[in-house]
Structure 1
Amino acid sequence: MSALKSYSHTIAQTLPELSIAEIHRDKREVTLTSGAKLLQRTVFSKDAIALRFKSAGRLSGPGAFFQVVEAGFDRHVPAQPVTAGLEVHRELLDKNNQPVTRTKLGEPIHVRLQARTVRDESVTNVAIIDLLPGGFEVVGASLQPGVSTISGVDYVDVREDRAVFYATLSGSVLEINYQIKSSNRGEFTVPPIFAESMYERAIKGCGVGGKITVTE
Protein backbone atom coordinates (compact mmCIF):
# COMPACT_ATOMS: atom_id res chain seq x y z
CA MET A 1 0.00 0.00 0.00
CA SER A 2 2.79 2.45 0.86
CA ALA A 3 4.45 1.70 -2.48
CA LEU A 4 1.23 2.64 -4.33
CA LYS A 5 0.98 5.88 -2.36
CA SER A 6 4.58 6.74 -3.23
CA TYR A 7 3.94 6.01 -6.91
CA SER A 8 0.79 8.18 -6.91
CA HIS A 9 2.67 11.01 -5.20
CA THR A 10 5.46 10.87 -7.80
CA ILE A 11 2.99 10.92 -10.71
CA ALA A 12 1.05 13.82 -9.18
CA GLN A 13 4.12 16.06 -9.34
CA THR A 14 4.17 16.06 -13.15
CA LEU A 15 0.69 15.14 -14.38
CA PRO A 16 0.63 14.57 -18.15
CA GLU A 17 -1.94 16.41 -20.28
CA LEU A 18 -3.83 13.48 -21.76
CA SER A 19 -6.92 13.07 -23.91
CA ILE A 20 -8.97 10.00 -24.78
CA ALA A 21 -11.06 9.75 -27.95
CA GLU A 22 -13.07 7.05 -29.68
CA ILE A 23 -12.78 6.33 -33.39
CA HIS A 24 -15.87 5.42 -35.43
CA ARG A 25 -16.06 3.41 -38.64
CA ASP A 26 -16.30 6.59 -40.70
CA LYS A 27 -12.92 7.63 -39.18
CA ARG A 28 -14.63 10.30 -37.09
CA GLU A 29 -12.83 11.04 -33.82
CA VAL A 30 -14.91 11.93 -30.75
CA THR A 31 -13.09 13.26 -27.69
CA LEU A 32 -14.30 11.61 -24.49
CA THR A 33 -12.16 13.30 -21.83
CA SER A 34 -9.03 15.41 -21.52
CA GLY A 35 -6.96 17.30 -18.98
CA ALA A 36 -4.18 16.89 -16.45
CA LYS A 37 -5.58 14.44 -13.93
CA LEU A 38 -4.11 11.68 -11.82
CA LEU A 39 -6.93 9.35 -12.86
CA GLN A 40 -9.13 9.81 -15.91
CA ARG A 41 -12.24 7.71 -16.39
CA THR A 42 -14.63 7.70 -19.30
CA VAL A 43 -17.16 5.51 -21.08
CA PHE A 44 -16.94 4.75 -24.80
CA SER A 45 -19.95 3.95 -26.97
CA LYS A 46 -20.89 0.82 -28.90
CA ASP A 47 -19.99 2.69 -32.11
CA ALA A 48 -16.29 2.82 -31.19
CA ILE A 49 -14.00 0.56 -33.20
CA ALA A 50 -10.83 1.92 -31.56
CA LEU A 51 -9.64 4.25 -28.81
CA ARG A 52 -6.96 6.92 -29.24
CA PHE A 53 -4.82 8.22 -26.38
CA LYS A 54 -2.94 11.49 -26.90
CA SER A 55 -0.46 13.49 -24.85
CA ALA A 56 -0.15 17.26 -25.26
CA GLY A 57 3.59 16.97 -24.69
CA ARG A 58 6.33 14.42 -24.35
CA LEU A 59 5.66 11.96 -21.55
CA SER A 60 8.33 11.83 -18.86
CA GLY A 61 8.88 9.90 -15.67
CA PRO A 62 6.78 6.74 -15.24
CA GLY A 63 4.64 7.69 -18.25
CA ALA A 64 0.94 6.78 -18.41
CA PHE A 65 -0.97 3.56 -17.90
CA PHE A 66 -4.36 2.77 -19.44
CA GLN A 67 -6.86 -0.01 -18.94
CA VAL A 68 -10.04 -0.91 -20.82
CA VAL A 69 -12.82 -2.84 -19.07
CA GLU A 70 -15.61 -4.43 -21.09
CA ALA A 71 -18.56 -6.50 -19.88
CA GLY A 72 -21.67 -7.92 -21.48
CA PHE A 73 -23.22 -10.97 -23.09
CA ASP A 74 -24.02 -12.36 -26.51
CA ARG A 75 -27.34 -11.08 -27.86
CA HIS A 76 -27.84 -14.23 -29.94
CA VAL A 77 -26.90 -17.88 -29.46
CA PRO A 78 -24.27 -18.91 -32.07
CA ALA A 79 -25.78 -20.82 -34.99
CA GLN A 80 -22.46 -22.44 -35.95
CA PRO A 81 -19.55 -23.76 -33.85
CA VAL A 82 -16.48 -21.55 -33.50
CA THR A 83 -13.10 -23.27 -33.81
CA ALA A 84 -10.18 -20.89 -33.23
CA GLY A 85 -7.54 -23.34 -32.05
CA LEU A 86 -9.94 -25.25 -29.79
CA GLU A 87 -12.88 -27.51 -30.58
CA VAL A 88 -15.62 -28.15 -28.00
CA HIS A 89 -18.85 -30.12 -28.09
CA ARG A 90 -21.59 -30.87 -25.56
CA GLU A 91 -24.38 -33.43 -25.51
CA LEU A 92 -27.36 -33.64 -23.14
CA LEU A 93 -28.41 -37.29 -22.93
CA ASP A 94 -31.18 -39.28 -21.25
CA LYS A 95 -30.80 -42.57 -19.36
CA ASN A 96 -30.80 -44.41 -22.71
CA ASN A 97 -27.94 -42.24 -24.02
CA GLN A 98 -30.23 -40.42 -26.44
CA PRO A 99 -30.20 -36.63 -27.02
CA VAL A 100 -32.60 -34.70 -24.77
CA THR A 101 -34.74 -31.71 -25.71
CA ARG A 102 -37.55 -32.51 -23.27
CA THR A 103 -37.32 -33.78 -19.69
CA LYS A 104 -39.31 -34.07 -16.47
CA LEU A 105 -38.85 -31.91 -13.38
CA GLY A 106 -35.99 -33.23 -11.22
CA GLU A 107 -34.98 -35.95 -13.69
CA PRO A 108 -31.17 -36.29 -14.03
CA ILE A 109 -29.63 -35.55 -17.43
CA HIS A 110 -26.23 -36.87 -18.47
CA VAL A 111 -23.89 -34.13 -19.73
CA ARG A 112 -21.07 -35.24 -22.03
CA LEU A 113 -18.41 -32.65 -22.87
CA GLN A 114 -15.69 -33.21 -25.45
CA ALA A 115 -12.77 -30.87 -26.12
CA ARG A 116 -9.49 -30.90 -28.02
CA THR A 117 -7.07 -28.58 -29.74
CA VAL A 118 -6.76 -28.44 -33.52
CA ARG A 119 -3.29 -26.90 -33.22
CA ASP A 120 -0.06 -28.85 -33.65
CA GLU A 121 0.91 -28.45 -29.99
CA SER A 122 -1.01 -28.89 -26.74
CA VAL A 123 -2.67 -25.84 -25.16
CA THR A 124 -2.21 -25.43 -21.41
CA ASN A 125 -4.33 -23.49 -18.93
CA VAL A 126 -7.60 -23.87 -20.79
CA ALA A 127 -10.89 -22.98 -19.09
CA ILE A 128 -13.85 -25.03 -20.34
CA ILE A 129 -17.00 -23.18 -19.28
CA ASP A 130 -20.32 -25.02 -19.30
CA LEU A 131 -23.14 -22.58 -18.55
CA LEU A 132 -26.24 -24.42 -17.36
CA PRO A 133 -29.71 -23.85 -18.81
CA GLY A 134 -31.88 -21.62 -16.63
CA GLY A 135 -33.59 -23.58 -13.85
CA PHE A 136 -30.95 -26.35 -13.84
CA GLU A 137 -28.31 -27.31 -11.29
CA VAL A 138 -25.41 -29.76 -11.08
CA VAL A 139 -26.19 -33.09 -9.42
CA GLY A 140 -23.74 -32.82 -6.54
CA ALA A 141 -22.67 -36.46 -6.38
CA SER A 142 -21.75 -36.49 -10.08
CA LEU A 143 -19.12 -33.74 -9.94
CA GLN A 144 -16.76 -32.87 -7.11
CA PRO A 145 -15.26 -29.36 -6.99
CA GLY A 146 -11.56 -28.79 -6.33
CA VAL A 147 -8.52 -30.73 -7.53
CA SER A 148 -9.93 -33.02 -10.17
CA THR A 149 -10.00 -36.79 -10.35
CA ILE A 150 -11.09 -36.56 -14.01
CA SER A 151 -8.27 -37.64 -16.29
CA GLY A 152 -6.88 -34.61 -18.13
CA VAL A 153 -8.62 -32.04 -15.92
CA ASP A 154 -6.58 -30.18 -13.29
CA TYR A 155 -9.30 -28.41 -11.34
CA VAL A 156 -13.11 -28.20 -11.23
CA ASP A 157 -15.10 -25.14 -10.16
CA VAL A 158 -18.81 -25.83 -9.60
CA ARG A 159 -20.94 -22.69 -9.36
CA GLU A 160 -24.64 -21.95 -9.14
CA ASP A 161 -25.04 -21.40 -12.89
CA ARG A 162 -22.09 -23.23 -14.42
CA ALA A 163 -19.34 -25.80 -14.17
CA VAL A 164 -15.80 -24.72 -15.09
CA PHE A 165 -13.03 -27.19 -15.91
CA TYR A 166 -9.35 -26.19 -16.07
CA ALA A 167 -7.33 -28.48 -18.31
CA THR A 168 -4.56 -28.98 -20.85
CA LEU A 169 -5.90 -29.89 -24.29
CA SER A 170 -4.06 -31.97 -26.86
CA GLY A 171 -5.12 -33.35 -30.22
CA SER A 172 -6.77 -36.28 -28.44
CA VAL A 173 -10.34 -35.73 -27.28
CA LEU A 174 -10.80 -34.94 -23.59
CA GLU A 175 -14.17 -36.26 -22.38
CA ILE A 176 -15.94 -35.02 -19.24
CA ASN A 177 -19.15 -36.57 -17.89
CA TYR A 178 -21.47 -35.38 -15.15
CA GLN A 179 -25.18 -34.86 -14.44
CA ILE A 180 -27.57 -31.94 -14.13
CA LYS A 181 -31.24 -31.76 -13.10
CA SER A 182 -34.04 -29.24 -13.44
CA SER A 183 -35.61 -27.37 -10.55
CA ASN A 184 -38.20 -25.39 -12.56
CA ARG A 185 -40.73 -26.08 -15.29
CA GLY A 186 -40.78 -24.27 -18.61
CA GLU A 187 -38.76 -23.82 -21.80
CA PHE A 188 -35.13 -22.81 -21.31
CA THR A 189 -32.24 -21.77 -23.52
CA VAL A 190 -29.23 -24.07 -23.47
CA PRO A 191 -26.15 -21.78 -23.63
CA PRO A 192 -23.28 -22.88 -25.88
CA ILE A 193 -20.25 -24.61 -24.37
CA PHE A 194 -17.17 -22.39 -24.45
CA ALA A 195 -13.43 -22.97 -24.02
CA GLU A 196 -10.59 -20.47 -23.97
CA SER A 197 -6.88 -20.33 -23.22
CA MET A 198 -6.57 -18.15 -20.12
CA TYR A 199 -3.33 -16.56 -21.30
CA GLU A 200 -3.83 -16.53 -25.09
CA ARG A 201 -7.38 -15.24 -25.47
CA ALA A 202 -7.40 -15.65 -29.25
CA ILE A 203 -7.22 -19.43 -28.77
CA LYS A 204 -10.81 -20.46 -28.13
CA GLY A 205 -13.72 -22.61 -29.19
CA CYS A 206 -17.48 -22.41 -28.88
CA GLY A 207 -20.25 -24.91 -29.48
CA VAL A 208 -23.89 -24.25 -30.35
CA GLY A 209 -26.78 -23.75 -27.98
CA GLY A 210 -30.37 -24.92 -28.11
CA LYS A 211 -33.62 -25.23 -26.19
CA ILE A 212 -34.88 -27.65 -23.56
CA THR A 213 -38.40 -28.06 -22.17
CA VAL A 214 -39.10 -29.20 -18.60
CA THR A 215 -42.50 -30.70 -17.73
CA GLU A 216 -43.94 -32.21 -14.56
Structure 2
Amino acid sequence: MAIKGLGTASTTALLISECQNGMTDPEHSTNDLLSGQVCKRGTIEKIEALAAVLRARGVPVFHATVQGLPGFRGWGANSPLTASIRKRPLVEGHISTAVHPGITVAGEDVVVARHRGLTAFHGTELEYLLRNMGVQSLVVTGVSLNIALPGSIIEAVNRGFSVVVPSDCVSGATDETHDFVLRHMLPLLSTVATSESIIAELGA
Protein backbone atom coordinates (compact mmCIF):
# COMPACT_ATOMS: atom_id res chain seq x y z
CA MET A 1 0.00 0.00 0.00
CA ALA A 2 1.32 3.45 -0.92
CA ILE A 3 2.40 5.68 1.94
CA LYS A 4 0.06 8.67 2.11
CA GLY A 5 1.89 11.93 1.45
CA LEU A 6 5.03 10.31 0.07
CA GLY A 7 5.96 11.54 -3.37
CA THR A 8 8.20 10.02 -5.98
CA ALA A 9 11.99 10.10 -5.84
CA SER A 10 11.92 13.27 -7.95
CA THR A 11 9.43 15.14 -5.72
CA THR A 12 10.63 14.01 -2.29
CA ALA A 13 13.48 15.19 -0.07
CA LEU A 14 14.99 13.73 3.08
CA LEU A 15 15.41 16.20 5.95
CA ILE A 16 17.81 15.23 8.75
CA SER A 17 17.20 17.54 11.69
CA GLU A 18 19.96 18.54 14.11
CA CYS A 19 21.94 15.28 13.90
CA GLN A 20 25.04 17.18 14.92
CA ASN A 21 27.59 16.30 17.54
CA GLY A 22 26.22 18.59 20.23
CA MET A 23 22.78 17.01 20.04
CA THR A 24 23.46 13.37 19.24
CA ASP A 25 27.07 12.36 20.04
CA PRO A 26 27.76 11.63 23.74
CA GLU A 27 31.39 12.66 23.29
CA HIS A 28 30.41 16.25 22.48
CA SER A 29 26.86 16.36 23.83
CA THR A 30 25.24 19.53 25.10
CA ASN A 31 22.09 17.50 25.91
CA ASP A 32 22.90 14.22 27.63
CA LEU A 33 19.28 13.05 27.83
CA LEU A 34 18.80 13.45 24.09
CA SER A 35 22.12 11.94 23.04
CA GLY A 36 21.44 9.03 25.37
CA GLN A 37 18.11 8.35 23.70
CA VAL A 38 19.71 8.59 20.26
CA CYS A 39 22.28 5.95 21.23
CA LYS A 40 19.67 3.75 22.90
CA ARG A 41 17.47 3.72 19.80
CA GLY A 42 20.24 3.44 17.20
CA THR A 43 18.81 6.53 15.54
CA ILE A 44 22.00 7.62 13.78
CA GLU A 45 22.60 4.22 12.21
CA LYS A 46 19.01 3.98 10.99
CA ILE A 47 19.07 7.47 9.48
CA GLU A 48 22.37 6.71 7.72
CA ALA A 49 20.92 3.53 6.21
CA LEU A 50 17.79 5.34 5.02
CA ALA A 51 19.76 8.25 3.60
CA ALA A 52 22.09 5.95 1.65
CA VAL A 53 19.21 4.24 -0.12
CA LEU A 54 17.24 7.41 -0.86
CA ARG A 55 20.33 9.27 -2.04
CA ALA A 56 21.07 6.43 -4.45
CA ARG A 57 17.55 6.82 -5.84
CA GLY A 58 18.14 10.52 -6.49
CA VAL A 59 16.31 11.86 -3.44
CA PRO A 60 18.03 15.06 -2.24
CA VAL A 61 19.29 15.00 1.35
CA PHE A 62 19.19 18.09 3.57
CA HIS A 63 21.01 18.39 6.91
CA ALA A 64 19.46 21.05 9.16
CA THR A 65 21.87 22.22 11.87
CA VAL A 66 21.76 24.87 14.55
CA GLN A 67 24.86 27.00 14.95
CA GLY A 68 24.78 30.46 16.40
CA LEU A 69 26.94 33.28 15.13
CA PRO A 70 30.04 33.97 17.25
CA GLY A 71 28.95 35.25 20.63
CA PHE A 72 25.38 34.25 19.70
CA ARG A 73 24.91 37.60 18.02
CA GLY A 74 21.26 38.04 17.06
CA TRP A 75 20.18 34.98 19.02
CA GLY A 76 17.23 35.86 21.26
CA ALA A 77 16.99 34.64 24.83
CA ASN A 78 13.24 35.08 24.86
CA SER A 79 12.34 31.62 26.20
CA PRO A 80 13.89 29.16 28.65
CA LEU A 81 15.10 26.99 25.76
CA THR A 82 16.61 29.73 23.62
CA ALA A 83 18.27 31.17 26.72
CA SER A 84 19.75 27.79 27.61
CA ILE A 85 21.15 27.32 24.10
CA ARG A 86 23.13 30.55 24.50
CA LYS A 87 25.00 28.83 27.34
CA ARG A 88 26.15 25.97 25.08
CA PRO A 89 29.07 25.96 22.62
CA LEU A 90 26.73 25.66 19.62
CA VAL A 91 28.39 28.36 17.52
CA GLU A 92 29.87 28.34 14.02
CA GLY A 93 33.09 26.39 13.81
CA HIS A 94 32.68 24.48 17.07
CA ILE A 95 32.78 20.70 16.86
CA SER A 96 29.31 20.51 18.45
CA THR A 97 27.81 21.98 15.28
CA ALA A 98 29.39 19.43 12.90
CA VAL A 99 27.17 16.65 11.56
CA HIS A 100 27.53 13.43 13.57
CA PRO A 101 30.36 11.32 12.08
CA GLY A 102 27.97 8.39 11.71
CA ILE A 103 25.96 10.29 9.11
CA THR A 104 27.44 10.86 5.68
CA VAL A 105 27.33 14.34 4.19
CA ALA A 106 27.73 13.55 0.51
CA GLY A 107 28.89 16.07 -2.03
CA GLU A 108 25.38 16.56 -3.38
CA ASP A 109 23.81 16.94 0.07
CA VAL A 110 22.78 20.37 1.34
CA VAL A 111 23.62 21.62 4.84
CA VAL A 112 21.21 24.32 5.99
CA ALA A 113 22.61 26.11 9.04
CA ARG A 114 20.28 28.02 11.32
CA HIS A 115 21.64 31.00 13.27
CA ARG A 116 18.55 31.68 15.37
CA GLY A 117 15.28 30.11 16.36
CA LEU A 118 14.17 26.56 17.05
CA THR A 119 13.02 24.96 13.80
CA ALA A 120 14.51 24.04 10.44
CA PHE A 121 12.62 26.55 8.28
CA HIS A 122 13.00 29.55 10.58
CA GLY A 123 15.34 32.13 9.10
CA THR A 124 16.87 29.69 6.60
CA GLU A 125 16.78 29.07 2.85
CA LEU A 126 15.26 25.62 3.27
CA GLU A 127 11.84 26.38 1.81
CA TYR A 128 13.24 28.15 -1.26
CA LEU A 129 15.75 25.40 -1.98
CA LEU A 130 13.05 22.72 -1.71
CA ARG A 131 10.66 24.58 -3.99
CA ASN A 132 13.32 25.30 -6.60
CA MET A 133 14.15 21.58 -6.65
CA GLY A 134 10.52 20.63 -7.22
CA VAL A 135 10.07 19.02 -3.81
CA GLN A 136 6.52 18.45 -2.60
CA SER A 137 7.02 15.79 0.07
CA LEU A 138 9.45 15.64 3.00
CA VAL A 139 10.72 12.60 4.85
CA VAL A 140 11.64 14.11 8.23
CA THR A 141 14.16 12.44 10.54
CA GLY A 142 16.46 13.33 13.42
CA VAL A 143 15.95 15.19 16.68
CA SER A 144 14.22 16.13 18.68
CA LEU A 145 10.64 15.09 19.16
CA ASN A 146 10.45 17.61 22.00
CA ILE A 147 10.62 20.81 19.94
CA ALA A 148 12.52 20.89 16.63
CA LEU A 149 10.74 18.05 14.84
CA PRO A 150 7.09 18.88 15.60
CA GLY A 151 7.85 22.56 15.05
CA SER A 152 9.55 21.93 11.71
CA ILE A 153 6.77 19.59 10.60
CA ILE A 154 4.12 22.20 11.40
CA GLU A 155 6.12 24.73 9.38
CA ALA A 156 6.38 22.28 6.47
CA VAL A 157 2.63 21.66 6.52
CA ASN A 158 1.91 25.39 6.71
CA ARG A 159 4.04 25.83 3.58
CA GLY A 160 2.12 23.20 1.64
CA PHE A 161 4.53 20.27 1.88
CA SER A 162 3.33 16.81 2.84
CA VAL A 163 5.37 15.01 5.49
CA VAL A 164 6.25 11.40 6.23
CA VAL A 165 8.04 10.51 9.47
CA PRO A 166 9.94 7.21 9.80
CA SER A 167 9.28 6.33 13.44
CA ASP A 168 12.58 4.48 13.83
CA CYS A 169 14.62 7.48 12.61
CA VAL A 170 13.62 10.05 15.24
CA SER A 171 14.31 10.56 18.94
CA GLY A 172 13.02 12.62 21.82
CA ALA A 173 14.87 13.43 25.02
CA THR A 174 12.82 10.99 27.11
CA ASP A 175 10.82 7.82 26.51
CA GLU A 176 7.65 9.66 27.53
CA THR A 177 8.14 12.52 25.08
CA HIS A 178 9.16 10.15 22.31
CA ASP A 179 6.09 7.96 22.66
CA PHE A 180 3.58 10.78 23.23
CA VAL A 181 4.62 12.88 20.23
CA LEU A 182 4.79 9.90 17.87
CA ARG A 183 1.41 8.56 18.94
CA HIS A 184 -0.64 11.68 19.55
CA MET A 185 0.88 14.67 17.72
CA LEU A 186 2.62 13.62 14.54
CA PRO A 187 -0.27 11.51 13.15
CA LEU A 188 -2.28 14.75 12.98
CA LEU A 189 0.42 16.42 10.89
CA SER A 190 2.06 13.66 8.87
CA THR A 191 2.11 10.00 7.98
CA VAL A 192 4.08 8.01 10.54
CA ALA A 193 5.68 5.02 8.83
CA THR A 194 8.89 3.01 9.10
CA SER A 195 12.15 3.46 7.26
CA GLU A 196 11.70 -0.04 5.86
CA SER A 197 8.37 0.86 4.26
CA ILE A 198 9.78 4.12 2.87
CA ILE A 199 12.73 2.26 1.38
CA ALA A 200 10.35 -0.29 -0.12
CA GLU A 201 8.42 2.49 -1.87
CA LEU A 202 11.22 4.88 -2.86
CA GLY A 203 14.23 2.59 -2.88
CA ALA A 204 12.96 -0.20 -5.09
Which band: TM-score by shorter chain? Answer: under 0.3
Query: With structure 1 as the length reference, what TM-score do the two structures score?
Result: 0.26
Query: With structure 2 as the length reference, what TM-score do the two structures score?
Result: 0.27
More strand by share: 1
- Bigger-Rg structure (1/2): 1
